[in-house]
Amino acid sequence: MSTTDSKTDHHGEGVKRRDFLFVAAGGFGAVGAAIAAWPLIDNLNPSADVLALSTVEIDLSKIEVGQAIRVKWRGKPVFVRHRTPEEVAAAKAVPLSDLVDPQTDEERTKPGHEEWLVMVGVCTHLGCIPLGVKAEDTKGDYGGYFCPCHGSHYDTAGRIRKGPAPKNLEVPVYTFLNDTRVRVG
């Protein structure tokens, strides 16, 4: 074996060691950066109190026919109304051509649960809270909800019928867990 061959072998081993050191240092650097960045990334996750507000479960068994309640969800009022058969029939009988924001009653309720109306109780005009949840509240010209701030009238399906509001009351994402419980959010 010549002296040049031993230098080449020795030089080749040096390159291998150097490559290993570069890869190992890079790996340690990447792990260190990830460890340093994790608290910053984890801080962006929603806090426990925000997650707790993301959904709300409502017991429907305590709401009598013709009664409505108001619950808080994500800092907003949500109206849950147990509509009478007459209110359901009145909502279904409205021609879409009479509506400012055309939506059928079926689009605003869940199949098999048409008697339950779940809506965000914030007027779509300027964000006031309409009346109509309490028995003594003014329900407007259409028997649903009335916003006293600027005179918007909503029907028994929460659809705008008269006044300056441009849209129907919002229907949030909700799911019936069973016949007596609903989850909003």
| Cα distance between residue 126 and residue 52, in whole Å | 27
Q: Is 150 a catalytic residue?
A: yes
Beta strand spans in 36-102 (E) = 56-59, 68-73, 76-82
Instruction: Name the nearest CA neighbour of 180 among 121, 116, 106.
Output: 116
75 backbone φψ class: left, alpha, beta (φ>0; ψ -120 to 50):
left
| Cα distance between residue 132 and residue 136, in whole Å | 8
Please name the amino acid found at residue 38: W
Q: What's the chain's Rg over C-alpha atoms? A: 31
Q: Which of 10, 125, 150, 153 is catalytic?
A: 150
Could you write out the three-class secondary structure of 153-171?
EEECCCCEEECCCCCCCCC
What 3-state class would DSSP assign to 12?
helix
- Residues 42 and 96: beta-carbon distance below 8 Å: no
As annotated, the active-site residues are 150
